[in-house]
Structure 1
Amino acid sequence: MDGNQSYSNYSGMVDDYSEYDEKELVYLCETEYRDSASSATAACYAIIFCLSLAGNLVVLCALVRFEDLKKVTNLFVLNLAVLDLVFAVSLPFWITDHLYSWVFGNALCKLVSGLYFISIYSSLMFLVAMTVERYIVIVHMALTQHQKHLLGSRVVCTMIWVISISASVREMVLSRILPDQYTCDIRDQNSQEVYINYCLHICFLFILPLTVIVFCYSRILKTVLSSRTKNRHRTVALIFVIVLTFFVCRAPYNVMILFMLRIDERDCDTQKRLYVAFVIVRILAYSHCCLNPLLYTLGEKCRAHIRRLFCSLPPQQRYNSVSYHVAHGLNVTDKSVAINGKASVK
């Protein structure tokens, strides 16, 4: 399911010790470290689950209660929080799988695997959409009419969900309980086929989005640096940090899986080091779902919403002044750009 490749070890059976051929023996590697790694992984998943569940629920409540969900950035952030919750909901199943075995049957194996891939694919596409939206607004100053802009963003959100669900169908179909390992994973396939499929995933669902994001932010940065109103681009900085965090968390995991798919190493020490490294980068990748709520709190407005949420202040005390939104808003539309060295506010 998550790229973990088991190393097959075997020993030849002999009928008589005198006929024993030492050259045909393949020594078994000790696997006690795998049990320890599984316990550590389950503990980390439990922490990630609790943090993600609490953090994203708070973000959702703050958005729904205090923010205008007709604004594009808020709509994208809402979808990201939902996806992080979807990912977090799957973690208790993987915790049980690591501590014991997969006891939930094939149907839930396919469903939980599907939720995993849907959340990963959708999160990446929403991050790209957020970046492109900021690029269009800031670099091309394409401030479209509110209703038209909102309709377009809703269409984009719908398309992202449809594409991510469609892209996850294959993994859902192939996921099943492996009888020899009693775990939920992708059905055994030809190793070359697996490698080719994963390379395609890396190209279209990692490298291509990264290229688009790098291009957009290079142009955004150039525009922002030429503007005299840099303090108004906090939204851009926050989205950049969220995107960067996603790639920092996911990149080592993807590289490690590619490496493990190609290596054919029978040395026990090397196997152990590779497995431990894989466990570490997998935990880092999974921790992404609990980091976004922490990143949102970098915005002063988000912190204010959270304080008010826990203090149960009445709705009439919401920050709805234009000056507050312009100075601190997560959803502020950056309408000020530098034209011939002078700031022009539209």
Structure 2
Amino acid sequence: MENLTISNSSLSARTSADVLAASTVLGLCCVLGVPGNIVVMVMLTQHLKEGSFTPQLMLSLAVSDLLSLITLPVWIYALLNGWIFGQGPCKVLSYIVYWSLYSSVLSVSLLSVQRYLQVLYPQRWAKLGTMGQKGLIFGIWTLSGTLASYSLFYRSVEVKEDGHQHCHQAYSSNLEKIIVLLVETLVMFVVPIFSLVCFYFRLHQRISQSSFFNSHRLTKLAVRIVVVFFIFSTPYMINNLVIISSAQMWIQKAIRPATSPSERN
């Protein structure tokens, strides 16, 4: 019993330390990210009159980042004290976060496509026109909102082992969890990183063959975008893959007795 008490105390201490560390990181992201994105948005609005699509896309990216950052104080409070805001805010705030995440990913992906077409096929890109560019921005936010809609169904408030209420993903089965996380990983990581590498590599390859362009600056920019996206997306995707692996192992253990009862003899 004494060993059990010591073990529980150590576990509680580790959990408290993890929560404190996570809250500190989120707090720094909020303090630095909110004013930083506001400054970026103010600077970008000065270039919108030029008619270039890149500032519009970067502005969309800054807005999506700001949307998720302004919700951080609520999540920090929930980490420290539990979720006290009810079921409705849990679903709505989760939807805003997922909406902004998908919008950020799609904006970065579209940026690679835009650079590819604008540099190598400027006449085709010019045919898109102002209305077409606005349609792309609108399409990003519409598609992002659609992709994030599953959070309205799966997000729920439940009481955990610590006695506090938590706003988290509540799946009806492990199979359902695997499907959702696989789609999440595919859309948020695999497809964007593939498009970034593919389009920027193709762009660098074509420009390197031409004497009219200096590809050194473009290569550095492309590498920075890919590396930054990879660094910030990889931890989240690794977490998803770990959860998927755990859920898959649970399903295999649950199915094995039913499919091969002779193994129990």
| TM-score between the two structures when normalised by the length of structure 2 | 0.80
**Greater helix content:** 2
Residue 105 of structure 2 corresponds to residue 124 of structure 1: yes
Matching residue within 33, 39, 64 for 1:83: 64
Percent of aligned pairs with the same residue? 24
Quote the Cα distance in structure 1 between the aligned partners of 2:194 and 2:20: 37
CA gap 1:218/1:242 in 2 versus in 1, 3 angstroms? closer
Quote the Cα distance in structure 2 between the aligned partners of 1:239 and 1:153: 22
Compute the displacement of 1:206 (Å).
2.0
Residue 111 of structure 2 corresponds to residue 137 of structure 1: no
Per-residue deviation, residues 127-164 of structure 1 (Å, max 9, x unmatched): 11111011112233435447x43222111111111111
Q: What SS does the corresponding residue of 1:103 show, helix, strand or coil?
A: coil
Quote the Cα distance in structure 1 between the aligned partners of 2:11 and 2:177: 27
Matching residue within 147, 158, 162 for 2:138: 158
Quote the Cα distance in structure 1 between the aligned partners of 2:87 and 2:223: 39
Per-residue deviation, residues 75-113 of structure 1 (Å, max 9, x unmatched): 000100101100101111111011111122111111110
Residue 184 of structure 2 corresponds to residue 191 of structure 1: no
**Contact map agreement 1:56 1:85 (CA 8 A) in 2:** yes
Matching residue within 150, 155, 158 for 1:178: 158
Per-residue deviation, residues 288-330 of structure 1 (Å, max 9, x unmatched): xxxxxxxxxxxxxxxxxxxxxxxxxxxxxxxxxxxxxxxxxxx
Structure 1 counterpart of 2:141, one-letter code:
W
CA gap 1:261/1:143 in 2 versus in 1, 3 angstroms? closer
Structure 1: segments with no counterpart, 5+ residues: 1-26, 265-346
Quote the Cα distance in structure 2 between the aligned partners of 1:163 and 1:66: 26
CA gap 1:188/1:145 in 2 versus in 1, 3 angstroms? closer
Matching residue within 212, 215, 228 for 1:245: 228
CA gap 1:239/1:76 in 2 versus in 1, 3 angstroms? farther
Residue 194 of structure 2 corresponds to residue 211 of structure 1: yes
4+ aligned runs moved over 6 Å, structure 1: none
CA gap 1:34/1:168 in 2 versus in 1, 3 angstroms? same
Quote the Cα distance in structure 2 between the aligned partners of 1:38 and 1:88: 18
Structure 2: segments with no counterpart, 5+ residues: 1-6, 248-265
CA gap 1:239/1:218 in 2 versus in 1, 3 angstroms? closer
Aligned to 2:129: 149
Structure 1 counterpart of 2:133, one-letter code:
S
Compute the displacement of 1:68 (Å).
3.0
Q: What SS does the corresponding residue of 2:51 show, helix, strand or coil?
A: coil
Q: What SS does the corresponding residue of 1:102 show, helix, strand or coil?
A: coil
Quote the Cα distance in structure 2 between the aligned partners of 1:51 and 1:263: 35
Q: What SS does the corresponding residue of 1:104 show, helix, strand or coil?
A: coil
Output the aligned Cα RMSD.
2.5
**Contact map agreement 2:26 2:72 (CA 8 A) in 1:** yes
Per-residue deviation, residues 264-285 of structure 1 (Å, max 9, x unmatched): 8xxxxxxxxxxxxxxxxxxxxx
Q: What SS does the corresponding residue of 2:70 show, helix, strand or coil?
A: helix
Residue 30 of structure 2 corresponds to residue 49 of structure 1: yes
Compute the displacement of 1:115 (Å).
1.1
Per-residue deviation, residues 316-345 of structure 1 (Å, max 9, x unmatched): xxxxxxxxxxxxxxxxxxxxxxxxxxxxxx
Quote the Cα distance in structure 2 between the aligned partners of 1:201 and 1:213: 18
Compute the displacement of 1:69 (Å).
5.8
**Contact map agreement 1:224 1:233 (CA 8 A) in 2:** no
Quote the Cα distance in structure 1 between the aligned partners of 2:176 and 2:47: 49
Quote the Cα distance in structure 2 between the aligned partners of 1:249 and 1:93: 22
Aligned to 2:43: 62
Structure 2 counterpart of 1:263, one-letter code:
S
- Count the aligned residue pairs: 238
Per-residue deviation, residues 45-72 of structure 1 (Å, max 9, x unmatched): 1111011111111111111235536210
**Contact map agreement 1:110 1:176 (CA 8 A) in 2:** yes
CA gap 1:204/1:56 in 2 versus in 1, 3 angstroms? closer
